[in-house]
Structure 1
Amino acid sequence: MDVSVLEKDLNEQAQLEKFIARIEAGDKIEADDWMPEEYRIALIKLISQHGISEIMGALPEKEWVPKAPSLKRKLGIMAKVQDEMGHGQLLLRVAEDLLKPYGKDRGDLMQDLFNGDLKFHNVFHMATNTWADAGMIGWLVDGAAIITQTNMLGASYGPYARALHRICAEEVFHAQHGEAIIMALAEGTEEQKQMIQESLNDWWEALLMFFGPASSTTTGTSKQDVTIKYGIRTSTNEELRQSFFTKYIPRILSLGLTIPDPTLHFDEDQQLWVYQQPDWNKFKQIIKNNGPRSQARLNLRRVSYENNAWVRDALAAAIN
């Protein structure tokens, strides 16, 4: 082997060991710090998907702004949509710093979204057919998001951890907003109660899918393994799903709702929830933009992006 190549490999190994030691010591990695390629790529994938999901996740609720049942509800859901868009822009800015070595920016991320290379969460491909669906997103989808995101509040990458502290604080209000909608419907007419049950039936499988498969891959190192290895998060997909069950199943049942899974129960011996697995092949198709509302929402985002190109051009000219 060439001596210079050997020296380079040894130097990179020493840098990696020093990097891992920093993470284990609780240090925060910043955008300008040296980081292994595997770490940078994992962060770009995670944060860009999170950011795009925040933006695309505002669209199902945006559909209910003109149809909200009262002015109070209209103002509440408008504020939530505004918050989600702000979260997305904040996260894309964090991802943008990580993209600099590749000569890319958030514009490239948007093109990746339109090309189908950048995925967004499966739940935001779903249709919102009733006001109960809008409430279900706030109550259970945002509840699932809080469980996922609070797991990364201590993330080793400083800019992401700091962004998450702000985002999680606001997501708590979003979950309370959704819960208030569901509680109001639960205390209403039989028709309204049935609306909640039908919404839960429609969203349950998507909620299970939200956390991802228990194992991302059958061979090699999975994405969740990499994020745990580098201290970006601490829990696996399945551990997060179990936390969701523990927190929300009692709340769902307390409203007199029936969870659409006759196999669901808590195993006292294993100390975990046993449940019917969702259709993971269906999950793969959904995140490939073949969900019920995938193309409609992508087209809406594409048109909005193109129509507002003049704003980006004007800002770029002012900076230059």
Structure 2
Amino acid sequence: MYHYGGALADDYIEEDEEKYARFMERIEAGEKIEADDWMPNEYRETLIKLISMHGISEIMGALPEKEWVPKAPTLKRKLGIMAKVQDEMGHGQLLLRVAEDLLKPYGKNRESLMLDLLNGDLKFHNVFHMPTKTWADAGMVGWLVDGAAIISQTNMLDASYGPYQRALQRICKEEVFHAQHGESIIMALAEGTEHQRAILQDSLNRWWPSLLMFFGPANASTTGSSKQEATTKYRIRKNSNEELRQAFLDKYLPRVFSLGLTVPDETVHYNEEKQQWVYQQPDWNEFKQIIGNNGPRSKERLRLREIAYENNSWVRQALASNAAIS
């Protein structure tokens, strides 16, 4: 997705063998790589893919919940979800600034990333292509989607790239509050009327496949991507997709069952011998369709982002003019 030219990673190793060896020594010693440090192309491009997708997903992820700001059942709930939307947009801007530093050698910037989103070159997370049909969905996004995000992001809290690692320190702290916000909605519905519990169960049934897809496929052959291997090789993250998915199931399935809820998979059970959850694999072909901007709400949400980009062009022009004058 992001190869802007220049030497490939293998060429870098051949031409700068000593630099590459020293780079790997620093990573293995736990040192942090900074934006101005030498790094192989593979490392830079892996970070660009990961961080830009993360940043754009934070921005696009605000849209499903934004839909519920005017429809939230109480003033307290409106204020809570408004604050959460504001946080998510802030996370996106912070991460796109981190990505922008990595893009400088290619002459790219944050605006380039937004254009890549709008023309389909930059993808966003599968869960944010999905509809939020009921108030229970707003709670589900906060409780389980943000819960999954916390598991994924805390896995990178010691990432080898310093600017990303420091950004994650702040983001993860705020995501904990988001998960608590979602959990409070879920608990209120779970303790409510029979109708409210039915809405909650329906929401979980609809979101379950997306939640399993959240961490990505167990192996690269499913999607043709080798990002998983590169991120662990360069110590950007510690665990594999499947290990993260199992951590999510370990944490949340007991909570789901304790509320008297079920998941739409009769095969789900815990294998004591292997000490892991057994579950039915989601449809990974559907996953590829969704992240290819063919999900239930892909076109509508991209159009909203495009309208915002067009309507606020005067702000970018004003900032560019001021920068030129100064």
TM-score normalised over the length of structure 1: 0.96
> For residues 42-81 of structure 1, what are the alpha-carbon distances to aligned partners after superposition, in whole Å with 9 as ceiling and x for unaligned?
0000000000000000000000000000000000000000
Cα shift at 1:300: 0.2
AA in 1 matched with 2:260? G
Q: 1:186 to 1:219 in 2, by over 3 A?
A: closer
1:209 aligns with 2:213: yes
In structure 1, the partner of 2:171 is 167
Do the aligned partners of residues 142 and 260 (structure 1) sit closer, same or farther apart at CA in structure 2, a change above 3 Å counting?
Answer: same
1:94 and 2:61 are equivalent in the alignment: no
Alpha-carbon distance between aligned partners in 2 of 1:216 and 1:70, rounded to the nearest angstrom: 45
Counterpart position of 1:132 = 136
User: Which among 255, 259, 265 is matched to residue 255 of structure 1?
Assistant: 259
Shift of 1:221: 7.6
Structure 2 Cα separation of the partners of residues 285 and 220 of structure 1: 14
For 2:78, which of 70, 74, 81 is the aligned residue?
74
* Matched residue count: 314
Q: Which residue pairs with 2:318 in the alignment? A: 314
What is the DSSP-based 3-state SS (H/G/I as helix, E as strand, rest coil) of the residue aligned with 2:280? coil
CA distance in 2, matches of 1:276, 1:157: 35
The equivalent position to 1:22 in structure 2, one of 21, 26, 40, is: 26
Question: Equivalent residue of 2:277, what SS?
Answer: strand
Matched ranges for 1:1-320 at <5 A: 11-217=15-221, 222-320=226-324
Partners of 1:294 and 1:179 in 2: CA distance: 26
Is there any run of 5+ residues in structure 2 with no aligned partner, and where? 1-10
Distance in 2 (alpha carbons) for counterparts of 1:312 and 1:201: 42
SS of 2:16's equivalent in the other structure is helix
In structure 2, do the counterparts of structure 1 residues 183 and 318 end up closer, same or farther at CA, with 3 Å as the change threshold? same
Distance 1:243 1:26 in 2: 24
Q: Distance in 1 between matches of 2:13 and 2:23?
A: 15
Letter in 2 for 1:273: W
Contact 2:59 2:92 in 1 (8 A): yes
Q: Distance in 1 between matches of 2:12 and 2:160?
A: 26
User: What SS does the aligned partner of 1:217 have?
Assistant: helix
| 1:164-188 CA-partner distances (Å, limit 9, x unpaired) | 0000000000000000000001111
Q: 1:8 to 1:252 in 2, by over 3 A?
A: closer
Mapped partners of 2:123, 2:235: distance in 1? 23
1:216-274 superposed Cα distances (whole Å, 9 cap, x missing partner): 22699821000000000000000000000000000000100011110001111111111
SS in 2 for 1:66: coil
Q: Distance in 1 between matches of 2:34 and 2:25?
A: 15
Stretches of 4+ aligned residues off by more than 3 angstroms:
7-11, 218-221
Considering only aligned residues, what root-mean-square deviation do their CA atoms show, in Å?
Answer: 1.4
Give how far 1:312 is off.
1.0
User: Could you tell me which amino acid in structure 2 is paired with residue 189 of structure 1?
Assistant: T
Provide the C-alpha distance between the structure 1 equivalents of 2:225 and 2:84, rounded to a whole number of angstroms: 37
Q: 1:221 to 1:256 in 2, by over 3 A?
A: closer
Deviation at 1:11, TM superposition (A): 5.0
The answer for the alignment partner of 1:4 in structure 2 is: none
Structure 2-normalised TM-score?
A: 0.94
